[in-house]
Amino acid sequence: MTEALDWLARQFTITFITGNRYKLFLTGLRNTLIIAFGAVVIGTFIGAVVAMIRVHSAQSGKLRALDRLCGAYLAVFRGTPIVVQLLIMYYIVFAFIDNGISIAVLAFGINSGAYVAEIVRAGILAVDIGQTEAGRSLGLSSGQTMRLVVLPQAIKNILPALGNELIALLKDTSVAGYVTVKDLAQAGENVRTLTAEPYFSLIFVAAVYFLLVMGITKALRAVERRLARSDRR
Amino acid sequence: MIVVEGLVKKFGGNTVLDDVSEHVRSGEKVAVIGPSGSGKSTFLRCLNLLERPDGGKILFEGEDITDPKCDADAVRRRMGMVFQHFNLFNNLTVLKNITLAPARLKIMTETEAEESARALLARIGLPEKADAYPSMLSGGQKQRVAIVRALAMSPRVMLFDEPTSALDPEMVGEVLDVVREVAEGGMTMVVVTHEMGFAREVASRVVFVDGGKIKETGTPDEIFGAPRDPRLREFLSKVI
Ligand SMILES: Nc1ncnc2c1ncn2[C@@H]1O[C@H](COP(=O)(O)OP(=O)(O)OP(=O)(O)O)[C@@H](O)[C@H]1O
Ligand SMILES: [Mg+2]
């Protein structure tokens, strides 16, 4: 019994206390959050723009060239692994910049944009075309109809899927270590090497990811409930 | 007011409107009748450019609206449309449904639009529904709101696409009453309808469409009393 407690205490000490190793985890957590939230902002922006272009092009037959470009973007970024995209960004596209975190934010953001674009597009297409026709028949422009009528309804379809994308993204960022970023997963790996003990470091890191995901899930549920309440349908 | 010349509309290889010509004069109430799939809705939707014609010309108050340089939004502001499935904006209250376009398009100020909307709601007997959402209304109430939403733009002409055919029978009357009132106010109207009794009573002229062509046109008495086209006779024998 005391042996077990001794073991736990020793593991705890070498994992968190010795050499202020808890700071490694804190830095890792901070970097993970920066990458995930930075990327989600970039991804949402890119995704929304790409979705608008594609929907507008499909409805009006305009912007054909831009639509093709968007299609190619989706195909490439959804068709290759994120780790490979990350490495290409770091070692080729931005080889002249030595800031792993910024490049990771960009790489994950651009990758996520491809998924968000499809989420937003599906959300818009799920709104009855009659809503658009009614708006246009009153003389509202396509932009006004989109902004005032279609998007407010589409957001209810989009938000839950966007939340899942954020969760997937958060976990995906655990490969940021490939481009020298000291993220949360990398912190666990780092401490595992330093302590030559895998248990505490790795399971602790897993628990932190898990709690983050649970937190996001809870927050999303609350938002969805709010939306459902205002949605008196 | 609306002159249609040689209108052609195709969906893929399917010619839905085949060389249709028609002249709707100011103050006329034109009922469009015909079998399902004959192109009635497509004809109506071409008039306000919800469908782009593939051939022919449409003049609205002298302006060629099929000209690619024509501002379709500006044309639609002068044409109201009422849909079979109402298409009220689900995210907005009844009042906002009515004020959205007039206020956004700067036809009225927000306050004027709201006053006018409340007056319109009173006219159709729904003043207490101003702050309700469309989901809280019956089908008949939705359609009455949809009609005044279009009227709020003070259009020069109103287009109705089977305004009562998605309604439960007991609600048809209340909607037809509103349409009738609009007609009595002198509005120019084109109404696609399956309600032959209504067409007979309200229309000043009836147009029979079949297979993408206008087969016969005349006063209600002519069309219902002495139909000449054999397809029209066959159609009337089925629906009356
Ligand atoms: N967007 C579209 N794409 C392809 N075909 C279409 C489209 N809209 C209509 N059509 C076809 O055009 C033809 C005429 O349709 P339309 O809706 O104008 O008929 P309608 O006379 O209004 O019929 P109903 O009485 O059933 O409403 C039909 O064969 C229909 O299938
Ligand atoms: Mg129809």
What pLDDT shows up at residue A231? 58
Among residues A177, A204, A165, the alpha carbon closest in space to that of A39 is found at A165
Asked if the Cβ–Cβ distance from A153 to B90 is below 8 Å, we say yes
Average pLDDT, chain A: 93
Q: d(Cα A1, Cα A6) in Å, to the nearest integer?
A: 9
Give the pLDDT confidence of A86-138 residue by residue, as tens digits.
999 999 999 999 899 999 999 999 999 999 999 999 999 999 999 999 999 99
Q: Which residues of A touch B (CB under 8 A)?
A: 128, 130-131, 133-141, 144, 148-149, 152-153, 232-233
Interface test with B, best of A59, A132, A137 (most B CBs within 10 A): A137
Interface contacts A/B by beta carbons within 8 Å: 69
Give the pLDDT confidence of B87-141 residue by residue, as tens digits.
999 999 999 999 999 999 999 999 999 999 999 999 999 999 999 999 999 999 9
Give the Å distances, CA to CA, from B180 to A164, B186, B191, B200.
Answer: 52, 10, 11, 12
Q: CB B202: neighbour CB atoms within 10 A?
A: 20
Q: d(Cα B206, Cα B214) in Å, to the nearest integer?
A: 10
Q: Per-residue pLDDT for A232 more than 60?
A: no
Nearest residue, CB atoms, A144 vs list B104, B135, B146: B104
Q: Per-residue pLDDT for A233 more than 80?
A: no
What pLDDT shows up at residue A69? 96
What pLDDT shows up at residue A109? 97
Q: Which residues of B touch A (CB under 8 A)?
A: 48, 50, 73-74, 76-81, 83, 85, 87-92, 100-101, 104-105, 133, 135-136, 146, 149-150, 153
Asked if the Cβ–Cβ distance from B133 to A233 is below 8 Å, we say yes
Chain B residues touching A144 at Cβ < 8 A: 104
What pLDDT shows up at residue A59? 84
Among residues B23, B77, B17, the alpha carbon closest in space to that of B51 is found at B17
DSSP A93: I
Residue B39 CB less than 6 A away from ligand 1 = yes
Give the Å distances, CA to CA, from A42 to A88, A94, A117.
Answer: 19, 17, 12
What pLDDT shows up at residue A162? 92
Give the pLDDT confidence of A37-67 residue by residue, as tens digits.
999 999 999 999 999 999 999 888 888 999 9
Cβ contact B84:B160 at 8 Å: no
Best probe residue, ligand 1, of B8, B14, B16, B83 (max atoms within 8 Å of C-beta):
B16
B98 → chain A, closest CA residue: A138
Among residues B51, B47, B6, the alpha carbon closest in space to that of B160 is found at B47
In sequence order, what DSSP letters do the residues of B49-111 get, joined into one string?
TSS--SEEEEEETTEETTSTTS-HHHHHHTEEEE-TT----TTS-HHHHHHHHHHHTTSS-HH
B81 → chain A, closest CA residue: A137
Residue B37 CB less than 6 A away from ligand 1 = yes
Residue with tokens 């319109």: B120
Strands B55-60 and B2-11, bridge-based pairing: antiparallel
Nearest residue, CB atoms, B87 vs list A131, A140, A144: A131
Q: Per-residue pLDDT for A1 more than 90?
A: no
Provide, rounded to the nearest whole percent, the portion of chain A with pLDDT above 70. 98
Best probe residue, ligand 1, of B32, B33, B41 (max atoms within 8 Å of C-beta):
B41
What pLDDT shows up at residue A60? 81
As a whole number, mean pLDDT of residues A21-25 equals: 94
Edge-to-edge strand list for the sheet holding B2-11: B14-24, B2-11, B55-60, B63-64
Interface test with A, best of B46, B52, B82, B91 (most A CBs within 10 A): B91
Give the Å distances, CA to CA, from A75 to A47, A71, B59.
Answer: 14, 6, 45
B75 → chain A, closest CA residue: A139
Distance in Å, CA B65 to ligand 2 centroid: 22
Number of H helices, E strands in chain B: 9, 10
Nearest atom in ligand 1 to the alpha carbon of residue B84 is 27
What pLDDT shows up at residue A230? 61
What pLDDT shows up at residue A173? 96
Nearest residue, CB atoms, B81 vs list A137, A144, A149: A137
Distance in Å, CA B157 to ligand 2 centroid: 19
Asked if the Cβ–Cβ distance from A232 to B81 is below 8 Å, we say no
Q: d(Cα B75, Cα B81) in Å, to the nearest integer?
A: 12
Nearest residue, CB atoms, B50 vs list A133, A139, A144: A133
Q: Which amino acid residue places its CA nearest to atom 12 of ligand 1? A: B16
Asked if the Cβ–Cβ distance from A134 to B83 is below 8 Å, we say yes
Asked if the Cβ–Cβ distance from B89 to A232 is below 8 Å, we say no
B150 → chain A, closest CA residue: A138
DSSP A127: S
Residues of chain B with pLDDT under 70: none
